[in-house]
Each structure stands twice: as structure tokens, then as C-alpha cells.
């Protein structure tokens, strides 16, 4: 007896995108969320191009872009800005919008596809055997314990993941920056730029508008490290902002203040049998580069169609190992990039900062280096490992992330000349497209699964790729 096909633990952005995809594929999905009501606290502000492509495939990009401000570049620190206008994407920009809008759209979509969200269900244990998973949750007051059974469970329950603990997995890493202050404030004299990132020997300040009259300030006082539990008042934030920016920006009122440490950690395995981890439950890093939520959403986009194919018997369970192989490597790379950016941003000595700015500006002015970093931070340049002997483009992102080929709803796209399409048409899940050469099979997450050179008439390997990735109706 099972209660759902998949139990998703946690309804942050990662869990909501995953749950919506699984339900759209026709699966019964139950989300267990410990909070009793939706939070309107926002952490992320940056939505990158690759994430917008994934949202476009789900019909959400336009609505999200309407909530925010596209910016041409990401200010890394000091006078160094990473230009994004050259990105080879329908979204050659960074969208500045509070995380709550991303979550709202993903929640509406998930509910629209029939996801069942149980609020006030705090997961306390997970156990599994060869047939399935049992997830234990409590109502928080400890009055009632519920066991939810399903063939698979995914932990998208954030930094302090109870699912990760239940699997007995460590979260190795270290604190990247200690004693960060976070304050949502009113400013009578806000900065002219949409994003302000500045540091000097006094500390570090980041300012971004919510778009509703409030601003988010993240600051660090270089002179002192404070326990995260210590109270934080507006005067302390105002003092650092004044010393770093030379003005307190007319800081008048705070609706929320808190302190946090920023860690760099990654779990060693994203899959343990029938339980998988995604988002902050699997990796955390500093906010530099604005990649955390983006990486979690892209984990979900990588996992959802594979899990749907396994649950429906279209793919072997082993395909879930490719989720670990592909996304663990990306997580490691993101930790490295954001770690390098935050360490560069925290330089205190004026001479080191000047040298840093000169060196970064010179390197980023070289097109290959600028494109490499913007491709990496935006997610556009990301590619997955290909099997030995595969065509050189296998594992690469398809042009526009497959949007032009019409991938949607967990469907694959097969592009190529008519005879090729005719030979491989009788598949339920395939959206076919008669686009010109090169012929290629694009996965539901927009990466190339099979390709051949222009003029090559052979479709060797295509049937195998269709079967391996679950593009064929069960038993076909």
C-alpha cells in the first residue's frame, strides 16, 4: 500500500518545481512541509538565464520576468561587473526578483497539476527497503505521527535537511563567511544602481530593492565576529553601511533583521537507494554569484523526468545514478565558483582590492574568459558528461535549452529529417520536430541525448538513447 508515487520533503523552490513536474507527468505526489503557513521571507534575488529557460519550458518565465527587473550585468565586487548581454540564450540578462515570486508561481503550478501539500508535517525519519520508502512526520506539537509510504522520496528540505540526517549522510565543508547581517529596511536615499556590491577595509555591503519600497541589505563588519544568536539592531547595520558606502542611504526603519553564517558544504551522495537529495539539502555556498536557488531548481529539472520515467517503468532505476553523476559535479563547480567570488570580494587591504579589480577587469575583457565565467554563473555553459564514443555534442545544452524544439511537459524532442522521424515516431513521449540537420534527440531538461553529424544518414545509437532515458512507452 502506498500513499503516493513520490513523497517530496520540503516546499521551497526546489521541492515545488520537482513536485509540479512529477504531477504534470501524471504521478501522485505528496509534499510534506513543516511550516504551517507560507513564508514571505526572501533569501534569493537573482534568477539566472538557464533557470529562466527551464521556467519558460514550464510556461512561467513571462510571469516571473514581469515581477522583476532584468539587468545586463552582475556586479561581482568593487568596479568589476560580469556582463551577461552576450549570453547565447533567449534571456541574456539576470532577473532581479525576490524569491517569494518564484515560489508563488511554482506553488500555483504544482497545485494546478494536483500536488497534495501537507503543511505542518515535520519529517523526523525516513527508512527504506527494496520495495519502497516510509517517511515519518510529526505535526510539530508531537501529538500525532504519520507514516507516508511511497516507492521514492526526495529530500528538498534545505540546509538542515532531516532527510539527509536520516540517511546517515554527513554534510562536509566549512563556514565561508561568518557574522553576516541581513536587514530589510526603508531607504530615503537609495543607491542609483539596482544592485550594489561594495567592500573596503571596514567590511562588505550588498543592497538590492524588493520593488515594494523596501530594500534588502546584507552587510559584514570586518572588525567583529558575532554569534548568530546575538540580537541585531538597525544602528549596527547603519554603521557598517556608512563606513563602507560613505552614506547610510537614509536608512530609516527595519521590518526584519537577522544574522547568519554562510557555509560551503556538499553531501557526498545525491542518491541512496530510493531516496534522493536536491537543492540546499545537497549543497550550500555563499550568496556570491546568486547561484543557490538557481542550482536547486536545476537539480529538480534534471531529476524530475528521470524519476517519472523510473516510476512509470520506462527507464531502469540506474538512470537515477545519472542524477548524482551530473548534478554532484555541477554542485562542486558552483561551490568553487561562488567560493572564489566571495573570497575575492572580502579582500580588505586597499592595494589588494585595487590589484584584484585590475586583474579581474583585464581577464574578463578577454572574450573567452568573460564568456566562460558568465556561462558558468548563468548556467548556460554547463554540460554533462557523455558516454564513451558518443557524439561530441551529447551532454551539451541544446540551442535555447530546447525551447525552439518545443520541449515541454517532460517530453523529449527529436529533430531531424522526415525519414529519421518516421522510423522513431511511435513513441508516446516524443515531441518530434522536423528541424534541419544536425539531427538530435533533446532530453526534457534541454540537454542533447543523441546527435549525428550533418550528412550522416545513420541513426546508430538512437534507439539505445531513447530506451536508456525512458523516451519510449513502457515495453516499447
Ligand X SMILES: Cc1cc2nc3c(=O)[nH]c(=O)nc-3n(C[C@H](O)[C@H](O)[C@H](O)COP(=O)(O)OP(=O)(O)OC[C@H]3O[C@@H](n4cnc5c(N)ncnc54)[C@H](O)[C@@H]3O)c2cc1C
Under the rule (CB under 6 A), what is the footprint of ligand X? 9-15, 32-35, 43-46, 99, 122-123, 156-158, 162, 182, 218, 260, 279-280, 287, 290-294, 296
Q: How far apart are CA 366 and CA 81, in angstroms?
A: 14
In the bound state with ligand X, the residue whose beta carbon lies nearer, of 123 and 303, is 123
Handedness of CA 334, 336, 337, 343 (dihedral sign): positive
In the bound state with ligand X, the residue whose beta carbon lies nearer, of 217 and 442, is 217
Residue 387 CB, shortest distance to ligand X, in Å, is 29
Instruction: State in Å, rounded, how far the first CA of the chain is from the last one.
Output: 28
In the bound state with ligand X, the residue whose beta carbon lies nearer, of 44 and 407, is 44
Are the C-beta atoms of residues 256 and 41 closer than 8 Å to each other? Answer: yes
- Please tell me whether the peptide bond between 438 and the residue prior to it is cis, using omega within 30 degrees of 0: yes
Q: How far apart are CA 65 and CA 53, in angstroms?
A: 12
In the bound state with ligand X, the residue whose beta carbon lies nearer, of 289 and 461, is 289
Query: Where would I find the H helices in 25-137?
Result: 49-57, 61-65, 99-112
Residue 172 CB, shortest distance to ligand X, in Å, is 18
Beta-bridged to residue 362, according to DSSP, are none
In the bound state with ligand X, the residue whose beta carbon lies nearer, of 270 and 469, is 270
In the bound state with ligand X, the residue whose beta carbon lies nearer, of 111 and 363, is 111
In the bound state with ligand X, the residue whose beta carbon lies nearer, of 131 and 212, is 212
Residue 299 CB, shortest distance to ligand X, in Å, is 8
Biggest alpha carbon–alpha carbon distance for the chain: 71
Give the three cell numbers for residue 167.
Answer: 540517511
Residue 123 CB, shortest distance to ligand X, in Å, is 4
In the bound state with ligand X, the residue whose beta carbon lies nearer, of 80 and 386, is 80
In the bound state with ligand X, the residue whose beta carbon lies nearer, of 6 and 431, is 6
User: Cell 523596501 belongs to which residue?
Assistant: 214
Residue 133 CB, shortest distance to ligand X, in Å, is 14
Are the C-beta atoms of residues 459 and 423 closer than 8 Å to each other? Answer: yes
Residue 180 CB, shortest distance to ligand X, in Å, is 7
> For residues 89, 94, 99 and 101, what is the CA-based torsion angle, rounded to 10 degrees?
-70
Q: How far apart are CA 371 and CA 307, in angstroms?
A: 33
Residue 67 CB, shortest distance to ligand X, in Å, is 14
Residue 4 CB, shortest distance to ligand X, in Å, is 15
Residue 228 CB, shortest distance to ligand X, in Å, is 12
State whether residue 33 is helix, strand or coil.
Answer: strand
Q: How far apart are CA 116 and CA 198, in angstroms?
A: 44
Are the C-beta atoms of residues 74 and 195 closer than 8 Å to each other? Answer: yes
Nearest CA-CA partner of 107 in 211, 10, 216: 10
Are the C-beta atoms of residues 342 and 351 closer than 8 Å to each other? Answer: no
Amino acid at each position: 500500500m502506498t500513499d503516493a508515487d513520490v513523497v517530496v520533503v520540503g516546499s521551497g523552490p526546489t521541492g515545488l518545481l520537482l513536485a509540479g513536474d512529477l504531477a504534470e507527468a501524471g504521478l501522485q505526489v505528496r509534499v510534506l512541509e513543516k511550516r504551517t503557513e507560507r513564508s514571505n521571507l526572501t533569501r534569493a534575488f537573482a534568477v539566472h538565464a538557464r533557470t529562466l529557460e527551464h521556467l519558460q519550458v514550464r510556461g512561467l518565465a513571462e510571469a516571473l520576468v514581469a515581477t522583476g527587473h532584468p539587468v545586463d550585468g552582475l556586479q561581482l565586487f568593487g568596479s568589476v561587473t560580469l556582463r551577461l548581454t552576450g549570453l547565447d540564450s533567449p534571456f541574456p540578462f539576470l532577473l532581479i526578483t525576490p524569491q517569494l515570486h518564484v515560489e508563488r508561481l511554482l506553488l500555483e503550478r504544482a497545485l494546478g497539476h494536483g500536488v497534495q501539500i501537507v503543511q505542518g508535517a515535520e519529517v523526523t525519519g525516513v527508512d527504506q527497503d527494496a520495495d519502497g520508502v516510509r517517511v515519518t512526520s510529526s505535526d510539530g506539537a508531537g501529538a500525532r505521527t504519520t507514516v507516508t509510504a511511497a516507492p521514492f522520496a526526495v529530500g528538498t528540505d534545505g540546509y538542515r535537511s532531516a532527510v539527509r540526517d536520516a540517511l546517515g549522510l554527513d554534510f562536509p565543508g566549512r563556514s565561508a563567511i561568518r557574522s553576516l547581517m541581513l536587514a530589510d529596511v526603508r531607504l530615503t536615499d537609495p543607491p542609483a544602481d539596482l544592485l550594489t556590491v561594495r567592500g573596503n577595509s571596514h567590511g562588505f555591503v550588498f543592497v538590492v530593492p524588493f520593488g515594494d519600497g523596501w530594500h534588502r541589505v546584507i552587510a559584514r563588519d570586518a572588525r567583529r565576529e558575532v554569534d548568530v544568536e546575538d540580537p541585531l539592531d538597525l544602528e549596527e547595520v547603519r554603521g557598517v553601511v556608512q563606513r563602507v558606502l560613505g552614506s547610510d542611504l537614509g536608512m530609516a526603519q527595519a521590518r526584519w533583521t537577522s544574522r547568519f553564517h554562510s557555509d560551503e558544504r556538499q553531501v557526498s551522495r545525491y542518491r541512496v537507494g530510493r531516496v534522493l537529495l536536491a537543492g540546499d539539502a545537497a549543497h550550500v555556498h555563499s550568496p556570491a554569484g546568486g547561484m543557490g536557488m538557481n542550482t536547486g531548481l536545476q537539480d529538480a529539472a534534471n531529476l524530475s523526468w528521470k524519476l517519472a520515467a523510473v516510476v512509470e517503468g520506462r527507464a531502469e532505476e540506474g538512470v537515477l545514478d545519472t542524477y548524482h553523476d551530473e548534478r554532484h559535479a555541477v554542485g562542486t563547480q558552483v561551490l568553487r565558483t561562488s567560493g572564489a567570488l566571495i573570497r575575492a570580494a572580502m579582500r580588505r587591504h586597499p592595494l589588494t582590492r585595487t590589484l584584484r579589480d585590475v586583474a579581474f577587469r583585464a581577464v574578463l575583457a578577454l572574450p573567452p574568459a568573460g564568456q566562460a565565467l558568465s556561462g558558468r554563473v548563468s548556467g548556460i555553459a554547463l554540460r554533462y558528461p557523455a558516454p564513451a564514443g558518443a557524439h561530441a555534442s551529447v551532454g551539451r545544452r541544446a540551442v535555447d535549452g530546447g525551447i525552439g524544439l518545443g520541449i515541454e511537459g517532460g517530453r523529449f524532442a527529436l529533430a531531424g529529417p522526415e525519414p529519421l522521424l518516421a522510423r522513431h515516431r511511435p513513441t508516446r513521449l516524443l515531441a518530434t520536430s522536423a528541424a534541419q540537420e544536425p539531427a538530435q534527440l533533446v532530453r526534457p531538461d534541454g540537454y542533447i541525448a543523441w546527435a549525428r553529424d550533418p550528412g550522416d544518414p545513420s541513426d546508430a545509437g538512437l534507439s539505445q538513447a531513447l530506451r536508456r532515458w525512458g523516451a519510449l512507452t513502457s515495453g516499447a
